[in-house]
Amino acid sequence: MKIRVLGASGSDIPGYHLSSFLLNDKILFDAGGVTGSLSFPAQQKIEHIFITHAHLDHIRDIPFLADNIILSGKPKRINIYSIKEVIDDIKKHLLNYRIWPDFTVIPDVKNSILNLKIIHEENQIMIDGYKITAYRMNHTVAAVGFLVEKEGKSFFYTGDTGPFNETWKKISDKNINVLIIEVSMPNKMRELAIKTGHLTAELLFEELKLFKNKPEKIFITHIKPLYKKKIERELKRYLNYKINILKGGELIRI
């Protein structure tokens, strides 16, 4: 597996891109920072997008990607997957002919650029040999994380989440090579993090205690740049884990 980190920031400021992870050039997880990170030819290779939740920093570039594809002269269909609540929000609030044209019916329903597909929690789907499973996460809106498995290798991407024992218990016995998980706020903001469905360093490592099998490597995403140095110092206290703080632009190989 080859995961290209297009963006891993919790805020959109110069030098930072929003959440987007590209698996083997074709499968995208979240679409916050796509079009500003990929060339036109690279954008045209994308075939599938898995969305964790419908907050703008995770879906912002879906409309711009669709626009680029249709204007390229080589139109193609991109499948967008998530649970029903997320798909409904994208259709109602984003691709609604008011915020942006509805590319689920452009140029027509049969040949639309975007194809919205509802998936169900804990039901596996297969794409290009990858087994992808959605698990419910804890956020202020309906949200899922994705477990991706292929040929004995795996990673789990949480999207935005606060503490959520139920999901960790369900996947704790799996051998996860890479865990891509958010830490948005410093420890002093613990109460706000819990209220808004996010993690601090302390909350993260409380969650990790629930894993029967410790993830081989942990990659931290969604840090708010304002608190970046503070969060980095707090994460460095946990020496028993292999922790990498993502900035965007990295290539993760599994």
Residue 157 corresponds to which amino acid?
Answer: Y
Which CATH architecture is the domain 2-253 placed in?
4-Layer Sandwich (3.60)
State which residues of the chain have pLDDT below 70. none
**pLDDT value of residue 56:** 97
16 to each of 21, 55, 108, 119, 201, how far by Cα in Å?
14, 18, 36, 30, 21
* CA–CA distance, 254 with 234 (Å, rounded to integer): 26
Is-above-0.85 flag for pTM? yes
Q: Is the dihedral of CA 183, 131, 92, 110 positive or negative?
A: positive
Q: At 27, list the tokens.
A: 């499968």
pLDDT tens track for 154-178: 999 999 999 999 999 999 889 999 9
Cβ burial, residue 34 (10 Å; 0-12/13-18/19+) = buried
- DSSP string of 153-222, one letter each residue: EEEEE--S----HHHHHHHTTS--SEEEEE--S-GGGHHHHHHHT---HHHHHHHHTT-SS--SEEEEE-
* CA–CA distance, 7 with 229 (Å, rounded to integer): 18
**pLDDT value of residue 241:** 86
* CA–CA distance, 30 with 84 (Å, rounded to integer): 16
In this structure, what are the phi and psi dihedrals at residue 178, rounded to the nearest 5 degrees?
-135, 130
How is the chain split into domains, by residue range?
2-253
Angle at 161 (CA atoms; ends 129, 14), nearest 5 degrees: 90
Count other Cβ atoms within 10 Å, centred on residue 99: 11
Residue closest to 160 by CA, chosen among 175, 179, 135, 140:
140
**pLDDT value of residue 239:** 74
